Amino acid sequence: MACESEKWVLMVTAQTPTNIAVIKYWGKRDESLILPINDSISVTLDPEHLCTTTTVAVSPRFDQDRMWLNGREISLSGGRYQRCLREIRSRASDVEDEKKGIKIAKKDWENLHVHIASYNNFPTAAGLASSAAGFACLVFSLAKLMNVKEDQGKLSAVARQGSGSACRSLYGGFVKWIMGKHDDGSDSIAVQLADEKHWDDLVIVIAVVSSRQKETSSTSGMRESVETSMLIKHRAKEVVPKRIVDMEEAIKNRDFPSFAHLACADSNQFHAVCLDTCPPIFYMNDTSHRIIGCVEKWNRSEESPQVAYTFDAGPNAVLIARNRKVAASLLQRLLFHFPPSSDTDLSSYVIGDKSILQDVGVADVKDIDALPAPPEVKDNIPSQKYKGDVSYFICTKPGKGPVLLPDKNQALLSPETGLPK
Ligand code: DP6
């Protein structure tokens, strides 16, 4: 290695979004390469509210690969991390930093070790897809550090080997993961269908649902579904291929009624597959079901759907409103039915883009008690309230893909030591 001293640390920091599937990935045809049994489509969420930031560093001083997640050191010995590291290393190119007098040749990367620090700007315990943003960010930042010259599609195939849904976090806007046909997974990649500006009316409200239940991980849940469910076969073969075509069309035409119809139907079918698994898997709880009921009732009372719902492998509801006005009515309904428990203040109950609260006319927690019942529930049965059943709401929107953060102050590792700051 041609460098002045062995003291240097070279690093890169990047930020990568999470994504929510509107046509779900559930089931693998190859467990180790992470190859799915059907295509899927997702919406990338605004990284301002939900993202992973990762700093990767390389130095001749490092004697092993190490990683810190949200400040705590974690093991990199798992197969998924190892595979991502190996795949990226094998694609590394020469790197030269003249100012620092650093020259790393392609072959040197095999012997150099990396330090990785990753941080989620949302609570990991909330059960929001942190592995998608995490693996996408790991692969994206390492690819930049190691001067990997491959396109985003090829990088998505590497991120896929960390966690399937991670491949869709390499782009902003609307993304399709093409299942591919090859046994080596080389054609199982993500592509962008449209960027985040294409349909910028959409507003997303996530209800983080209080839950004490330990959930089955997506990885083992989908394995059990593939092994035991008959419905999953029908879904992958007959249902999803058509839905993918229709969803692409709905996105292209910004056709909200079709988009909502397809997204809700697909979420419900995914959870039906979970019920069809032996033993059955329950990801949604009573609160999730109540939120579905509330949206369905409202959509039915309007001429066409106003809100789409979708649920991943957990009870949290991701609600997509057709525009900001609808999102304000949605939040009003949600706050009416699910007021915060007494010790919660408004600023921690509604997070993300809080400006929607102004449109709802809520400036203080006390204003929630005064909200009127939505017209569609006023009829025969008195509307019920479920205080404390939602932990908090996140207001956000579709967002951009991965970006580099050039500002050294945003790095999570010290430029001198390469250890967490
Ligand atoms: C329900 O990507 O977490 O969120 O590939 O085993 O890491 P692994 O699973 P993961 O599964 C995500 C499943 C889902 C649907 C989706 O995101 O498409």
Tens digits of residue pLDDT in 309-358: 999 999 999 999 999 999 999 999 999 999 999 889 999 999 999 999 99
Tens digits of residue pLDDT in 110-122: 999 999 999 998 8
The predicted structure's pLDDT at residue 381: 61
Query: What average pLDDT does the segment 21-27 reach?
Result: 98
Share of the chain above pLDDT 70, in %: 96
Tens digits of residue pLDDT in 216-260: 999 999 999 999 999 999 999 999 999 999 999 999 999 999 999
Burial label for 3, CB within 10 Å (0-12, 13-18, 19+), is middle
Per-residue confidence band for 160, with pLDDT thresholds at 50, 70 and 90: very high
Residue at 405: amino acid letter? L
Report ipTM (2 d.p.). Answer: 0.99
The residue whose CA is least distant from atom 1 of ligand 1 is 312
Per-residue confidence band for 1, with pLDDT thresholds at 50, 70 and 90: low
Distance 164 CA to ligand 1 centre (A): 6
The predicted structure's pLDDT at residue 125: 62
Whether the CB-CB separation of 31 and 18 falls below 8 Å is answered with no
Q: How large is the C-alpha radius of gyration of the chain? A: 22
Of ligand 1's listed atoms, the one at least distance from the Cα of 177 is 18
Distance 165 CA to ligand 1 centre (A): 5
> What DSSP element (H or E) covers 245?
helix 240-252
Count how many Cα atoms sit within 13 Å of the Cα of residue 367 in the half-sphere of its side chain. 11
The predicted structure's pLDDT at residue 26: 98
Domains and CATH numbers, the chain: 10-196+401-410 (3.30.230.10), 203-396 (3.30.70.890)
Question: Ligand 1: which of 18, 19, 25, 277 to mutate, most ligand atoms within 8 Å of CB?
Answer: 25
Separation CA 275–CA 273 (nearest Å): 5
Average pLDDT, the chain: 94
The predicted structure's pLDDT at residue 321: 98
Distance 313 CA to ligand 1 centre (A): 8
Tens digits of residue pLDDT in 131-154: 899 999 999 999 999 999 999 999
Of ligand 1's listed atoms, the one at least distance from the Cα of 165 is 2
Q: Which residues, listed in sequence order, are joined to residue 395 by a DSSP beta bridge?
A: 205, 352
Tens digits of residue pLDDT in 55-95: 999 999 999 999 999 999 999 999 999 999 999 999 999 99
The predicted structure's pLDDT at residue 126: 66
Per-residue confidence band for 377, with pLDDT thresholds at 50, 70 and 90: confident
